[in-house]
Amino acid sequence: MAYTPFISFASIPSSTPALHSPHVNSPTVRIDTVSVRTGDTFQLALKTSDLSGAGISSFNVVISYNASLLTATDVTIDSTLSGSDGAAMTLVTNLDTPGVIKMAAAGAIDLTGSGDLVIMTFQSLSTEGSSSIKITDFTFNEGLPGATLVNGVVHIETQVVGDPSLNGDISAYDASLILQHLVGTSLLTGDAFNAAETTGNGAVSAYDASLILRYTTGAISCFPASASCSASKHDADVDAQLTWQAADAINGSSASLRIDNIQGAIQAVAIDLELTEAAIQELTPLIPADWTLTSAQVDANTYRILLVGTSPLETDSLLSITFNGAPNTIQASYQLNENAYQTIESLVLDETPASYTLDQNYPNPFNPSTTIQYALPEDARVTLTIYDLQGREVEQLVHEVQHAGTHTVVFDASSLASGTYLYKLQTPSYIETRQMQLIK
């Protein structure tokens, strides 16, 4: 008769840990499906359903992907269920084999809750296509509990850099959309914003508009933000000094903004003036013919001027501004290409005029236009009217309340016959009339 040993279950230590809790359903582990652009750096999370009570303190994972479309660059458990704020696990990864990610995590504390187990960082390459992100091997603990696996897909689409209109064609209109965005008249968001960002620095600037204009003229063949572009990287080494040409300017007269000590290829200049549009009577660009000027009020205290060109800036004068009731001190700052903003030394305007005056027009005689300048010592309702010698009204140039200061008005007499004309300035407390001569 064979001997059968007696085994007492009571002899097994009661402290032996369970391999898993049989009442826990199989968790679901998944990777989402996403769409990205060529050249994007993006993250994908390995996610899990609720693990509370499952007794899970380790996992092993193998992920496969298409190495001709993607490159895995990093795996982390920071800010996940596995990280220092969760189970405080240790993560070991292997990214040495293209198309494969191997990882293992273990710790002394069980995983709880639902959310991200790990976060993977990928770089999409320059080819359109779709790559499955497949969980080819997955184990909790030593195999239990089992897991339901859901794979993901990365769809890679071509980013048409330089085409914020999203019509598939890069044109000067795309540069215009960027300028409108920067002055706040039209905002770019989502794919349009991404397409406008031509340098790859994460921000849209006037320099991006300049690159688009240069692309349309054939000066450059690709954009720095394009994954396949290596010939047109952003030249950050630019510098120059912007100064006001006339520090003794007065309200109603013009002050020029100069650029000196130019270093590097400056293709875009942004200027922010701390005033309102009402304080600017006339804005005259003094830039080369292949440059353009755009300006607008961007907030209650900032008037923005954008200068963009297809050739590097060489001129010493950028623009001329005629102020009309502006603050006595003009504060301003400027940006060259995509550099940080710098401060322009303040422009100090003369104090408020001591009395009402109406100056002689200049030039005089004139053909066909002339400038009339007058001074107001206080805010007042102003009427400036042109008459012929018979006292008949020819044209009313001003009829409004104006701020104290020196003001100028241009009178265009192209439609009038040669002769002597009168111009009269009238306020509630002041009236004066002068003559001017039109000679054609």
| Positions of CATH 2.60.40.680 in the chain | 28-157, 239-348
Strands in 405-412's sheet, in edge-to-edge order, are 357-358, 369-376, 405-412
| Positions of CATH 2.60.40.1930 in the chain | 357-438
Q: Domain spanning 239-348 has what CATH number?
A: 2.60.40.680
User: How much is the pLDDT for 24?
Assistant: 54
Backbone angles phi, psi at 15, to 5 degrees: -85, 0
User: How much is the pLDDT for 124?
Assistant: 92
Q: Which amino acid is at 418?
A: S
Backbone angles phi, psi at 374, to 5 degrees: -150, 160
11 vs 6, 8, 14, 20, CA distance in Å? 11, 5, 9, 21
| Positions of CATH 1.10.1330.10 in the chain | 160-234
User: Is the torsion defined by CA of 214, 217, 218, 221 positive or negative?
Assistant: positive
User: How much is the pLDDT for 266?
Assistant: 93
Question: Strand 302-309 to strand 268-273: parallel, antiparallel, or no bridges (unpaired)?
Answer: antiparallel
User: How much is the pLDDT for 230?
Assistant: 62
User: How much is the pLDDT for 234?
Assistant: 53
User: How much is the pLDDT for 365?
Assistant: 94
The architecture CATH gives domain 357-438:
Sandwich (2.60)
Q: Supply the DSSP string of 155-204, one letter for each residue.
A: EEE---TT-TT-SS---HHHHHHHHHHHHTSS---HHHHHHH--SSSS--
Q: Domain spanning 160-234 has what CATH number?
A: 1.10.1330.10
Beta-carbon contacts of 328 under 8 Å, excluding residues fewer than 6 positions away, are 348, 349, 350, 351, 352
* Lookup: tokens for 20: 């898993």
Question: Cβ(339)–Cβ(270) under 8 Å?
Answer: no
The architecture CATH gives domain 28-157:
Sandwich (2.60)
User: How much is the pLDDT for 235?
Assistant: 52
Low-confidence stretches of the chain (pLDDT < 50) are 1-23, 247-251
